[in-house]
Chain A
Amino acid sequence: MFEDEVLSEEADVEEDESSTYLTFDLGGQTLGVDVRFVREIIDVKKITPLPNAPSEVLGVVDVRGQSVPIVDLGRRLGVAPGDWAEEARMVVLEFATGYRNRQIGIQADRVRNVDQIAQSEIEPIPRDGFALWDAGVLLGLSRRNEDLIVLIDLQGIFGDAGDELDLTAGAGFF
């Protein structure tokens, strides 16, 4: 708890210059998430499906004695699911919401790297003309060599709104 608070303060400090992102592949795309929300990267484990869970929630896995729900991020983002590979991992995310940290797991086809991406390297989403496109969850695009890394705002997806994601409630996001 204590450490969490410290981390958030430090992140705020460094945000001005550049941010560190964890890049990973999902459904043929390379996505990037802020490393601050990343708690841990683990090997793919057996997902225990939960009855009556929302369709995005695939189930729960055990991470050091703690049950972490696994959310189908590809489906959440409308990304086609990629091929399961040797390098598939699970990324445990952690959000500091209210009085406790909330952990959510997502699947990644392959974890690429932990990169520092300067703010200047981040291009905005080319959404002119698409009025209906809700690009709120996208932070921008970053070029790395010829690949484009799509940076995702996890806070936007799981952050405040993520409070609603109460497993005990038994309902979905919508």
Chain B
Amino acid sequence: MRLTIKTKLIAVFAVLIALLGASSFMALKEAAELQATLDDMVEDTAAQLDESLTMEAAAATTMSIVKSYLMEPDDAAATALAEEAEAEILHVAEAIGNMRRLNLTETEEAALQRFEAEWEEFLAAEDEIRELGLAKTNVRALETYQTQSEPAYGIVYTMVEEIVANVRERIASATLRDPRLATLEENVDALTDNLRALHSYERDLLIDNSAEKIEISQAGIEAETASLQDHLAAAEAVATGADRQALDSLSVAWQEWRELMQATTELSVQNTNTLASRLLKDQLEPAFDESFAAAAAMATMSRDNLGLAQDDAHAAYATSRNLLLTLGAVAATIAVVAAFWLSTTISRGLARAVEVACEVARGNLDIHAKSDKRDEIGDLLNAMDKMVVDLRDMSRAAETIAKGDLTADVKPRSDEDQLGMALRDMVVKLRDVISNASVSATYVAEGASDMSATAEQLSAGSNQQASAAEQASASIEEMTANIRQNADNAAQTEKIANQSAEDARQSGEAVGNAVRAMKTIADKINIIQEIARQTDLLALNAAVEAARAGTHGKGFAVVASEVRKLAERSQQAAAEISSLSSQTVEVSGEAGRMLETLVPNIQRTADLVQEISASTREQNVGAEQINEAIRELDKVIQQNAAAAEQSAATSQELAAQSQQLNAVIGYFTVADAGRHAAAAPRPAKAAPSVAAKQAPKKSASKTVEAFDLDLSSSDVSDADFTRYAG
């Protein structure tokens, strides 16, 4: 049978749970019993105790209330207290009712009945007492006496005193003794005594409540009343006039007091308070004592019952505790044993699994993990063994690949076998890569030989370039010489132009001087003209004088005429000179103006020539720079030619290297031998992206490293070279 860890665990836990259930059931049962006992205790015994205590207390309260209302002088308060007593009595009755509803034992029943009998007796006595107690005759008698009888007595007494005093005065004043007056005085005096005695009896009745004393007082009152009536009658018989009237009014007052006194006396005679007290002492108190004792007995009985119930509960607790302890000990023992057994089994199996896993992690695949255990640990170890075997297979496949055999196909064990899939993909990719690399190497070899030819062509082109550059350099040299000549000529021209400008300016100044000179001449000529004119005038005046002199002045007239002619001639000559000189001034002015306009033009020409000279100098510098650049270019071309030769050498070496690469790739065995040959054209068509893209890139980068020539920027072809050279 296969005994798995799961089964073992389930079995152990089942036993433990059964024991736990048993102990729980026991505990529950004991608790229920305890509950019942407690209920009994609370519902019956405690209730009994409660009720009997209530009875006891209510009885005591009733008793004290009864005493209170007996003592209470006020009627209303007494009545209220009586009602309270009634309520307490009801409480007792209620408690008795409650008690009756409980489950009572026979003894309890008997005790209750005894209490009830005693209580009935108490109630009967109380009824009797209440009637008497509430009547309160003694109190009322005292009240009547104080409020009514006493004042009435005072009135009567005063009247009597007055009459006596009046009569005695008259007797004393009478000279002769009037017997009537004496009789009157005597009777009235006796009447006064009677009144005092009556008053005394009345007060005695109020004070003393004993039966004998009451009888004595009653008898005394009757005797004194009769005596008083006699004396009053006798007095009335002898009285006359005013006395008669006084006696009449006295008689009226007496009648009034007499009635009041009689009422007081009657109340006093009833004497209820005394009776009540006596009843209380004789009947009620013994009845109360007995009923109280009965109630107390009941309470004691209930208390005893409670003690019994407590003992029962203690016993039940002890029993159940012992049972539960035993069950717990058994369960603990079972749990400890099972835990030790299970943990040992599991840890031993897991330790073995860990050992295997560590070895696998270390790379040791020669370990055997097989186990003949038939639990989960056994399963785990068997699974690990399988894993180790699979890994061993995988490593063997990898070894094969490492040896260069790419023909083997690796089969992944499942869809999740990433290592298997990676190995399979690796083989496939390697196969692809090797085929492609082989093809590429071939291409590289071809390309290298092509490149070698190209480099040679490049070298030839560079030589041609060099000669062309030399030619250009010579031409530029010539051009530079021409430009320098031009610059020199321009400088000379500039100098001449400046000189011309200066000359023109000087000419202008000379012309200005000439004009000024001419103007001076004109001024001088004017003077001459003026002189000639004056001379003419003088000559004319002389002629006039001569004419006026008549014949004597004839010779003078001739002279004057001659002088005048001379003056006119000189005037004419001066005018001519003046006009000539003004013409000269005009012409000179014109010449000056022309020279003035000429000067800026010449200056401008000079400036322009200067500019030409400057730009020619700049040209000269530029030509020098061009010359320099061409020399540099020539140098570069020389270098290029050298580089081209070197590149030819390098590409030959590259061809050699690519053949070596082919040899290296040959290490890998790919599927079949025929495929290697056929692969050459296939990738070029099928996968040009890989072959074509990689091949030029690699060669380009290599070229850059080798020659420092940038051929990667554009496609280099033969056409480019021919065009450049031509």
Residues on A lying within 8 angstroms of B by beta carbon are: 7, 10-11, 13-14, 20, 22, 35-36, 38, 40-43, 89, 111, 113-114, 116
Contacts and interface: CB of A to CB of B under 8 A. Distances in A.
A113 B561 CA distance: 9
A43 B550 contact: no
B270 to A, nearest CB: 186
Contacts of A7: 548, 550
Contact of B540 (A10, A14, A36, A41): A41
Interface string B599-621: 00000000000000000000000
A146 B550 CA distance: 28
A36 B548 CA distance: 6
A41 B540 CA distance: 7
A111 B548 CA distance: 17
A111 B540 contact: yes
A42 B540 CA distance: 10
Interface string B91-114: 000000000000000000000000
Interface in B537-557: 537, 540-541, 543-544, 546-551, 557
Contacts of A20: 547-548
14 contacts: A7-B548, A10-B551, A22-B544, A35-B544, A35-B548, A36-B548, A41-B541, A41-B544, A89-B537, A111-B540, A113-B543, A114-B546, A114-B547, A114-B557
Given A43-B537, A89-B537, A10 B543 contact: no
A89 B536 CA distance: 12
A36 B553 CA distance: 13
A69 B135 CA distance: 192
Interface of B: 537, 540-541, 543-544, 546-551, 557, 560-561
Contacts, number: 39
Given A41-B537, A89-B537, A114-B557, A10 B544 contact: no
Contacts of A40: 541, 544
Given A40-B541, A114-B540, A14 B548 contact: no
Nearest to A11: B550
Contact of A14 (B541, B544, B550): B550
Contacts of A114: 540, 543-544, 546-547, 557, 560-561
A111 B538 CA distance: 12
A38 B551 contact: no
The 7 A-B residue pairs with the shortest CB-CB distance in the complex, in nearest-first order: A20-B547, A114-B543, A35-B547, A10-B550, A38-B544, A114-B547, A41-B540
A7 B552 CA distance: 11
A151 B210 CA distance: 221
Contact of B551 (A14, A89, A113): A14
B546 to A, nearest CB: 8
Contacts of B543: 113-114
B92 to A, nearest CB: 178
A116 B558 CA distance: 12
Contacts of B537: 41-43, 89
Contacts of A38: 544, 548
Contacts of B550: 7, 10-11, 13-14
Contacts of B548: 7, 20, 35-36, 38
A89 B549 CA distance: 23
Contacts of B557: 114
B561 to A, nearest CB: 8
Contacts of B544: 22, 35, 38, 40-41, 114
Q: Of B547, B550, B557, B560, which is in contact with the most chain A CB atoms at under 10 Å from its CB?
A: B547
Contacts of B541: 40-41
A22 B543 CA distance: 9
A103 B287 CA distance: 207
Nearest to B534: A43
Contacts of B549: 10
